[in-house]
Every structure is written in C-alpha cells, then in structure tokens.
Amino acid sequence: MLLFGGTFDPVHFAHLNMAEQCLEHFGGKTLFFMPNRVPAHKQASGIDNADKLAMLKLAIAAEPRFAIDERELHRSGPSYSLLSLQELRSELNASGQAQEPILFLLGMDSFNSFDSWYQWRDILELCHLVVYQRPDEHLSPSPQLQAYLNQHQCNQGSALESKQAGLVYFLAGPQRAVSSTLVRERLQRGELCEDLIPAAVSQYIRDKRLYMAS
C-alpha cells in the first residue's frame, strides 16, 4: 500500500505532484494521504483539523486513485507515524495481506531528519521509505542514518515489492518549489495562491477566511 503522511496545512501542488509520481512509478491502485493532527516535529499553525481535511478532500476529488486515511485525526497526543504504521500492519495481517509492503512517501527534508522520528528504526520494520527530491534540499543524513542507507538503499523500485519493509528508495521526478509555509505567508499578505494550490482549495480558503491576517 502507498501511504503519504503530512501536515497538509494546507495541501499544495507539490504534494499532489509527488503523490501522482509515486502512483505512476509503483503502479498502485490507491495512494492514501494521511493528515496528522498533532505534528510531532513542528508547530501547528492553529488551523482547525476539519478545515485541513476538507481542503484535502477538495484537492484529491478529481483523482479516483487518491484516498484519505483519517486515523491520525482521530488520535490524541503527538501523531507519531509509528503508531499509525503499527495499526496498518495489524489491519493488513488481519485481512490476510500479511506480505503486503507499505511504502511511506516523504520529501527529502523529512528524510534528512528521519532519525529524529519517534523510534525510527521500528518504523523501518513496518514500511519502506520512498523519498522524493525537494528543491534546494540535498541528501544530508546523519552518520547513523547514512549507515542505515548504506545497508538498505535500493535502486530498483521493483525490489520494494519483494519484502514488506526496511528499504529506502529515492524516487526521481519533476520538482515543485512550493511549501505550505509559502502558501500561508502569501495568504497572510492577502495574495492569491492559485499557482500553488488547487482552485477549489483556494476558494475554500477565501470562503472561510483561513490563514488571513486578522
């Protein structure tokens, strides 16, 4: 299964682009966006999670292969990926899909700090990582993450199908210089963001007056 965890505050074109590239590359049936409720490593902007979810739904509406996994929105406490992956793995086991690999999509900046995630080594017992390039972000792992990479990086996407978890694959594709921070900053200045986010999301933000200076 293809899983894309994020804060999505708000979702933007770079998220949609990397999700699309991941689906195309791995020929998956469905890619699940998994929005977090309490980001483990960054300050939340204060947006209501119901709005975050509504924007995500609007952004993916046109792509039937995109879906949303809402589990982190229903859990209190920090949205540790480990907890979600443990649940997903149990669900796959219970439905007779014990051998199914989980591919967790993340950007290069997230990967560079991956060894600061809660029990990161345990995460890699549960899923593979698919790392997407991000403009101006180069691979810069700590020595311990580099050591993991030396053992577990794979250069063939097809290898990820041969085991359930534990490999790291760098997925190349078109990059987009967009961040949620940039979107929020521009909205605060009262600027339009239709080059950065889908029109329906932009309309929702306008209607609900989100991210605007008070």
Ligand X SMILES: O=C(O)c1ccc[n+]([C@@H]2O[C@H](COP(=O)([O-])O)[C@@H](O)[C@H]2O)c1
Residue 199 burial (10 A CB sphere; 0-12, 13-18, 19+): exposed
**Residue closest to ligand ATP when measured from CB atoms:** 107
Residue closer to ligand ATP (CB basis): 170 or 200:
170
| Distances, alpha carbon 160 to alpha carbons 104, 108, 163, 164, in Å | 11, 19, 6, 7
Q: Which of 26, 32, 66, 80 binds ligand X (CB under 6 A)?
A: 80
Residue closer to ligand ATP (CB basis): 2 or 18:
18
Q: Which of 21, 84, 110, 112 binds ligand ATP (CB under 6 A)?
A: 110
For residue 187, the SS3 value is helix
Residue closer to ligand ATP (CB basis): 167 or 178:
178
135-164 residues in contact with ligand ATP (CB under 6 A) are none
Residue 8, interface with ligand ATP (CB under 6 A)? yes
Q: Which of 24, 29, 42, 97 binds ligand X (CB under 6 A)?
A: 42
Distance CA 209, CA 211 (A): 7
| Distances, alpha carbon 11 to alpha carbons 4, 94, 148, 166, in Å | 12, 32, 30, 28
Could you give the strand order of the β-sheet that contains 66-68, starting from the edge strand earlier in sequence? 66-68, 31-35, 2-6, 103-107, 128-132, 168-171
Residue closer to ligand X (CB basis): 58 or 123:
123
Q: Which of 132, 148, 169, 204 binds ligand ATP (CB under 6 A)?
A: 132
Distance CA 150, CA 171 (A): 17
Residue 198, interface with ligand ATP (CB under 6 A)? no
Q: Which two tokens stand for residue 205?
A: 């933000």
Residue closer to ligand ATP (CB basis): 55 or 92:
55
Binding string, residues 70-109; x marks residues near ligand ATP by CB under 6 A: ------------------------------------xx-x
Contact 197, 179 (CB under 8 A): no
Judged by the rule CB under 6 A, the positions of this chain that interact with ligand ATP are 6-9, 14-15, 18, 106-107, 109-110, 132, 134, 175-176, 178-181
